[in-house]
Amino acid sequence: MTETDVKVLASELKSQYGDNLNINADRFFTKLLVDKVKLLDLMQLLHDKYGFNQLSNLTSVDYGEEFEMVYHLYSIPENIKICVKTRIPRNMPEADSLITIWPAADWQEREVYDLMGIRFNGHPNLIRVLLPDDFDGHPLRKDFVRKG
């Protein structure tokens, strides 16, 4: 698969997911912005059918009203890359866990829970990983205030 094939792949997915999927691209990545409810479905498809066997990066950004989950996927050894994003409302910060597809999501989702406060449905061990268990708050949120 080459860069042009990634665009072909993207348009195939667009016809499959319709309005639940938006595609754009910058100089670096083709980006798929998918609805939260279709995330697990899309990720399973990308892993099983299109061969993205490496979940390279999983992180989150606080945009005020919404959080954005960002995933960078790669295929080894061909090194094809794609970026998947989904938006989560601030008043209900939940997403589906990808641990059943890539075990690499395990600690990365725990870190997002720890620092950003997003819960992952289906994660077997969603506890803090970097901060003490009794820490109050989620520091990477923009409204976090340091105490003391």
Partner 1 sequence: MALENAADKDTEELAKHNILVTTLDKLWDWGRSWSFWPLNYGCNCCPIEVMAAGAARFDQARFGYEVVRAVPRQADLLTVAGPITLKMKPAIERVWAQMPEPKWVIAMGNCAISGGPFKDGYSVLPGVDSIIPVDVYIPGCPVRPEALFHAMLELKKKVKQGDYRRS
Partner 2 sequence: MFDTDIYSVNVGPVHPSTHGGLHAEAIMNGEIIEDVIVHLGYVHRSVEKIAEGKTYQQYVPYTARLDYLATNLPVMGYCQTVEKLLGIEIPERAEYIRVIMAELSRIASHQIAVAATGIDLGATTGLMYAMRDRERIMDIFAMTGGQRLLSSYIRIGGVAADIPEGFIPAVNDIVNDIPKMMDEYNDLLTGNEIWGARMKGVGVLKAEDAIAYGVTGPNLRASGISYDLRKAEPYSIYDRFDFVVPTRNSGDSLARWQVRIEEIGESGRIIKQALDGMPEGEIKGKVPKNLKPEAGAEVYHHIESSKGELGYYIVSDGGAKPYRLHVRAPSFINLMVLPLISRGGVFQDIITNIATLDPILGESDR
Residues that bind partner 2 (CB under 8 A): 26, 28-29, 53-57, 59, 61-62, 70, 72, 76-77, 79, 83, 102-104, 106-108, 111, 115, 128-132, 139-140
Which of partner 1, partner 2, none is residue 50 near (CB under 5 to 8 Å by kind)?
none
Query: Which residues in 85-144 contact partner 1 (CB under 8 A)?
Result: 131-132, 135, 139, 144
Among candidates 62, 59, 58, 87, which has minimal Cα distance to 74?
Answer: 58
**Smallest distance from the beta carbon of 51 to partner 2, in angstroms?**
11
Among candidates 73, 75, 81, 90, which has minimal Cα distance to 36?
Answer: 90
**Smallest distance from the beta carbon of 110 to partner 1, in angstroms?**
14
**Smallest distance from the beta carbon of 103 to partner 2, in angstroms?**
5
Phi, psi of 109 (to 5 degrees): -70, -35
**Smallest distance from the beta carbon of 22 to partner 1, in angstroms?**
35
Cis peptide before 77 (omega within 30 of 0): yes
Phi, psi of 22 (to 5 degrees): -120, 140
Neighbours of 95 (CB within 10 A): 22
Task: Give the whole-angstrom CA distance, residue 28 versus residue 72.
Answer: 11
Binding residues with partner 1: total (CB under 8 A): 6
Interface ranges with partner 1 (CB under 8 A): 131-132, 135, 139, 144, 146
